[in-house]
Amino acid sequence: MKKLSVLFAAVMMIVSVGMAKAQKIATLDVIGVLNAMPEKKKADADLKTFLDTKQAEIKKKADAGQAKLKQYSEEAPKKTAEENKAREAELQKIQEEIAQMQDKAQKDLQAKQDVAFGPIEKKLNDAVEKVAKANGYEYVMDANSPAFLYKAGADATPAVKKELGIQ
Q: For the segment 115-128, what is each residue's pLDDT rounded down to a tens digit?
A: 999 999 999 999 99
Specify which residues 142 forms β-bridges with.
28
What is the number of structural domains in the chain?
1
Task: Answer yes or no: is 4 within a domain.
Answer: no
Task: Answer yes or no: is 3 within a domain.
Answer: no
Q: Specify the CATH number for the domain of residue 148.
A: 3.30.910.20
Task: Answer yes or no: is 8 within a domain.
Answer: no
**Residue 148: predicted pLDDT:** 60
Model's pTM, two decimal places?
0.69
Q: For the segment 4-21, what is each residue's pLDDT rounded down to a tens digit?
A: 444 444 444 454 544 555
Domain containing residue 37: 14-164
Q: What is the mean pLDDT of residues 67-83?
A: 90
Q: For the segment 85-94, what is each residue's pLDDT rounded down to a tens digit?
A: 999 999 999 9
